[in-house]
Amino acid sequence: MQLGLDELGTPLQDVTFVVVDLETTGGRAAEDSITEIGAVKVRGGEVLGEFQTLVDPGGPVPPYIQVLTGITTSMLIGAPTIAQVLPGFLEFARGSVLVAHNAPFDVGFLRAAAARLDHPWPGFQVVDTVRLARRVVPRDEAPNHKLGTLAALFGAQVTPNHRALSDARATVDVLHALLGRLAPWGVTHLEDLATAADPVPGDVRRRRTLADGLPDAPGVYLFRGPGDEVLYVGVSTRSLRRRVRSYFTSAEKRGRMTEMVRLAERVDPVVCASPLEARVRELRLIAEHAPRYNRRSRAPERMPWVRLTDEPYPRLSVVRDVRSGTAHIGPFASRSLAQQAVEALHATFPVRQCTGRLPAVAPSGAAACVLAEVGRCGAPCTGGQDVEAYAPVSAAVRRAMAGDPRDVVHAHAARIRTLVVQERFEEAAAVRDRMTAFVRGAARAQRHARAAACRELVAARRTEEGGWELVLVRYGRLAGTAVVPRTTDPRPVVASLRAGGEHVAAPPLPATAAHPEETDLLLAWLDQPGVRLVELDGEWSSPVLSAQAVRDAAAAVSVALAAPGAPLLDDTVGTAAPGTRRTA
């Protein structure tokens, strides 16, 4: 495939560099002043121009600086001030890449001078030859990375002498020598140079060509290894090319990703119309391929739920699936979170905690457990509580899971207050986490159930460019998306989206409608300010677990712990009458 210029980047031979050096009255940019500026403009090895001037610092030059640089106070009498010099230098350097040896020093003084003069700083890309030298000049070749040492090592035509223009000319030769050493590492374009000094293994950096040709658009990328194996699936909401390139720089600090990059043989892009579609496709591809280097979202079918069993004496169980007609909450991100939700219900209701299935009539000779002795269980296993007497307990648990969580919230808030008064803060935090796990799991189950009951929903949101992002949702699953420019009538696009959208069959259970995290993404998108409902066909009623109940829970906990309050969950989606079709 023939790459475009924007995909190749800017070759270093076409980059205009301005190599700059300063002499100053000291080493502190906030307090000291510039006494001399020297700069050389080069491109492709050719000198295009030079800039040199003394600068009146507005005061005497310290004696040790006069000895070091040879610039005396008398030499600066009548020299232009930095206010007169800076605009000329910035115009000389406009559109270039600034280069300096120990760039933080030189660029720091220039930025400080611009700030004092209220002059906007252009935001140059900066290259530090000291950092480049540390990457390619080992200690056994040069004792240090000072400008004089490197100039002698590379045979610079000018010897540095602590005068700005001479030092800048020497730095030009050092820069060209360093770029020559970096070329075998694959540093041949300006975009490569920006990360050339990063501590990245050479074999990893050389594989950055895997990003060549990737589009500058949102989407999903798949790193493929030997045998076409999908090693890793990732997402970029803005630019696939820039995101993949970051894996070959110091921005990527995960050791397992470095291992993955070494195995990768190519990167396949999947361009998406919007960031939402990109995130959803990432989840689906991870679930489909289960890449070994992805740790999240690989097996949604194994996410744990908390279910109230269907038997004469129901109990709570952590399971991998849900059944029709049973109360359940979740799914949870981990089994430990599901267990915390179970513990929250056990701490609130005297539901039995034994794991065996109990008959309707207790066998003779059965013994009660410790929980029965302390009043935390009615002991149905011994006949101390029959099915009719146990029914209110299971009904209260079912109501908390599928409806109103206030009993759980109030019980835990009271416990937290008691523990805080007793200064048992770690225990109070554990109680808070237990209650939070339950409330989040209950809210997730209810929101997902209502999303899965909606046959079709079309919503729209304004883009930053003034157009419309259109989203088609069927039974809690993304069925289609499109981005409409500002000058285009969105109505025909909506009709086309509905006609060509993915067919999604009505799920037998809400849990099977879509990947749980996909439904979370869609609900979060719909909750954004400015999202408009275009069409609705099906039920989308307000969850019984209201946002106000969640806020009450968060407030109770935050007050008890004397901590800043924050809602545990986002507000719920707007309501619509069951079975209605709405067009706006």
Active site residues: 162
Side chain identity, residue 551: R
Parallel/antiparallel/unpaired status of strands 454-462 and 477-484: unpaired
In order, the DSSP letters of 492-519 are HHHHHHHHHSPP-PPPSSGGGSS-HHHH
Long-range contacts of 73-78 (CB under 8 A, 24+ apart): 76/35
In the sheet that 305-308 helps form, which strands lie side by side, from edge to edge? 316-319, 305-308, 328-329
Q: In terms of Cα–Cα distance, which of 198, 278, 286 is closest to 246? A: 198
Q: In terms of Cα–Cα distance, which of 575, 576, 553, 577 is closest to 565? A: 553
Long-range contacts of 485-492 (CB under 8 A, 24+ apart): 490/460
Query: How many whole angstroms separate alpha carbon 161 and alpha carbon 148?
Result: 8
Q: Which phi and psi angles does 123 have, rounded to 5°?
A: 75, 50
In the sheet that 16-24 helps form, which strands lie side by side, from edge to edge? 46-54, 34-43, 16-24, 97-100, 126-128
> What does the buried/exposed string (b/e) look like for 54-69 if buried means 16 or more CB atoms within 10 Å of the residue's CB?
bbbbeeebeeebbeeb
* Alpha helix positions (H), 374-489: 387-402, 406-421, 425-452
Parallel/antiparallel/unpaired status of strands 266-271 and 219-224: antiparallel
Q: Which two tokens stand for residue 462?
A: 């304004």
Q: Which phi and psi angles does 179 have, rounded to 5°?
A: -65, -35
- Distance from CA of residue 17 to its chain's centroid? 34
Measured on CA atoms in the order 175, 178, 184, 186, is the torsion positive or negative?
Answer: negative
Burial class (CB in 10 A: 0-12, 13-18, 19+), 312: middle
- Contact by Cβ (8 Å): 221, 233: yes
